[in-house]
Structure 1
Amino acid sequence: MGDHGKAKSDISFAGTFASSAFAACFAEICTIPLDTAKVRLQLQKKAVAGDGVALPKYRGLLGTVGTIAREEGLTALWKGIVPGLHRQCLFGGLRIGLYEPVKTFYVGKDHVGDAPLSKKILAALTTGALAITVANPTDLVKVRLQAEGKLPPGVPRRYSGAVNAYSTIVRQEGVTALWTGLGPNIARNAIINAAELASYDQVKETILKIPGFTDNVFTHLLAGLGAGFFAVCIGSPVDVVKSRMMGDSTYKSTLDCFVKTLKNDGPLAFYKGFIPNFGRLGSWNVIMFLTLEQAKKFVRNLESP
């Protein structure tokens, strides 16, 4: 098992799934405050002049984190961590765990050398779409719990917690409601997954060809940052549409939301929160990939005879 060519696929699917789910959950716990801030920023509509509301309530990523902590307490920043972890176990485990086997399937078992970029993108699109179809309910509950904090004092909370939110949504809106926003969510997650995994794969491959670079933490760090950056550039517009659709039921369809946002807020609205998004996805990817590489190493040592 020691030979280098085999190193990629030498751990079982269960091992890969467990490593991926663990890495995704760890990254989620570390960065969910940034995500909660991001959702609040995205849902914040432009203040209408003459409303007497001159300044938006949330300004900037760290400013928003500060405002939420001050107004609602520190724990409010980890609102949505339970469905967030449900989501990462399912979604992270599946999209990352299936990536290598699906990539191998697309290039063929006998393929030698690096897989072409197109096949990497195809594999990541496939696993992203599959994984989110399974994990959509967890995503919906997470966004709803994160949006909760906006309620004025005295208004009763809709949900007492994650499990209660699942059952309440099913009871009030039917089972299919858990798959609200599946269309934009598949688009977003397939695309972002491709941007993350394929670029991580590609950046890492490219760095390893530079003399003096080895498969170590520094390489993983650079590749993770690259992955986060690509993911935000490509995923930001889809992400804004998804947050708006899940947080506000007045939009008829994905396209409707896209057109209205473009018309009312201009094209830059799709990059609303680019910095917070990069802060979130950049740090998420760095933590996730660093943890993943270490977890896989750990599993490899466990499994190798």
Structure 2
Amino acid sequence: MADLSPRSEISFLQTFLCSAFAACFAEFCTIPLDTAKVRLQLQKKAVVGDTTGSQKYRGLFGTMATIAREEGLAALWNGIIPGLQRQCIYGGLRIGLYDPVKIFLVGSAFVGDIPLFHKILAALLTGALAIIVANPTDLVKVRLQAEGKLPAGVPRRYSGAVDAYFTIVRQEGVGALWTGLGPNVARNAIINAAELASYDQVKETILKIPGFMDNIFTHLLAGLGAGFFAVCIGSPVDVVKSRMMGDSTYKNTFDCFIKTLKYEGFLAFYKGFLPNFGRLGSWNVIMFLVLEQAKNIFRV
């Protein structure tokens, strides 16, 4: 990326390990924000005059406080195990493959700044491929995060991550592990393009400004830019993905999209925007900072 590799070449395995570690570290630090985001996205719009349908969750910190108060502080880390599993696979593959695919698209003999189009295309391809492999971990993570919205007295569906995998396969079939694959591929390909390509481009642009160097401050600015673009572009498919995985009442992706649009309006696709940005913005900053430092270890 702009660049995650050129100072000295490191192997794909080294890049994969650095990416997986950085993604897992960022996941652990920010999953409370993600849990709040998922609850806000799954929350249906209250019917006018229906006091029983009033909004339970309000705002990022309000949602986190409600979850912690009603379910315990540990509930904010619901889904952390499949979340880490997801990042090991998805984070390692999407970032580890990005530079090789980018170079393949322009040719190994290419000299100069790689065009933005090729950066975007490379990130789209690696994001789609990585999430196809990692979709089961994403599904289980969302299911566990959604557990807390079940009515009081209703028994929990899963006792943990491993039980969730087996229960889903036993009750719904192996194919159910790839529930929501369509919107998930769309979401992760788009967000991956927004994150990696924008980080690449923003960092490349910053380094051309006199006085800026390839240091932590530059990585921080580029990471914030990556998170902002990712949320703006990927929020609609992220909402549909969360609802498809957390609510079995939708027939398919199109049905989920139409019903959300019809009953809640276009802005519903940006439900949880601020917590989503809080999550992705902080996630990208942490992930890219850790990734850059981890890769420097192998460059020494």
TM-score (norm 2): 0.97
* Contact kept in structure 1, 2:19 and 2:291, CA below 8 Å: yes
Q: 3-state SS of the aligned residue for 1:200? A: helix
**Cα separation, 2, equivalents of 1:40 and 1:121:** 30
Partner of residue 75, structure 1: 74
Deviation at 1:9, TM superposition (A): 5.8
4+ residue segments displaced more than 3 Å: none
Q: CA deviation at 1:5?
A: 11
- Where does the alignment leave 5 or more consecutive residues of structure 2 unmatched? none
Pick closer, same or farther for the CA change 1:262–1:54 going to 2, 3 Å.
closer
Aligned residue type for 2:133? V
Alignment check: 8 A CA contact 2:46 2:53 kept: yes
| Partners of 1:9 and 1:100 within 8 A in 2 | no
Counterparts of 2:149 and 2:50, CA distance in 1: 18
Matches within 5 A, 1:22-41: 22-41=21-40
DSSP 3-state at the match of 1:53: helix
2:63 alignment partner AA? T
Distance in 2, matches of 1:181 and 1:242, equals 6
CA distance in 2, matches of 1:6, 1:252: 44
The residue type equivalent to 2:117 in the other structure is S
The 1-side partners of 2:278 and 2:4 are apart by: 35
CA deviation profile, 1:231-287 (whole Å, cap 9, x unmatched) = 000000000111111111222221221121111111111111111110000000000
- Give the match for residue 113 of structure 1: 112
Deviations 1:197-219 (A, max 9, x none): 00000000000000000000000
Which residues of structure 1 form unaligned runs of 5+?
none
Partners of 1:37 and 1:64 within 8 A in 2: yes
Q: Report % sequence identity.
A: 81
Moved more, 244-253 or 188-197: 244-253
User: Hey, what's the Cα distance between the residues in 1 that align with 2:13 and 2:193?
Assistant: 22
Q: Is the Cα contact below 8 Å between 2:235 and 2:273 reproduced in 1? A: yes
Distance 1:83 1:234, change over 3 A: same
Amino acid at match of 1:70: R
Write the mapping of 1:103-182 to structure 2, written as runs, cut at 5 A.
103-182=102-181
CA gap 1:225/1:6 in 2 versus in 1, 3 angstroms: closer
CA deviation string 1:90-149 (max 9, x = no partner): 000000011001101111000011110000000000000000000000000000000001
| Aligned partners of 2:90 and 2:131 also within 8 Å | yes
Which residue in 2 is equivalent to 1:193? 192
1-side partners of 2:35 and 2:5: how far apart? 40
| SS of aligned partner of 1:124 | helix
Q: Aligned AA for 2:216?
A: V
CA–CA distance in structure 1, aligned partners of residues 203 and 292 of structure 2? 12
Structure-1-length-normalised TM-score = 0.95
CA RMSD, aligned part only? 1.4
Distance 2:123 2:206 in 1: 20
Name the counterpart of 1:93. Answer: 92
Distance in 2 of aligned mates of 1:221 and 1:5: 14
Q: Alignment length, in residue pairs?
A: 298
Letter in 2 for 1:111: F
CA distance, structure 1, for counterparts of residue 10 and residue 64 of structure 2: 39
- The aligned counterpart of 1:51 is 50
Over 3 Å counting, the alpha-carbon distance change for 1:270 and 1:167 in structure 2 is same
1:54 Cα offset (Å): 6.2
User: Does residue 68 of structure 2 align to residue 64 of structure 1?
Assistant: no
Tell me the residue number matched to 2:224. 225
**Aligned residue identity for 1:139:** D
* One-letter amino acid matched to 1:64: T
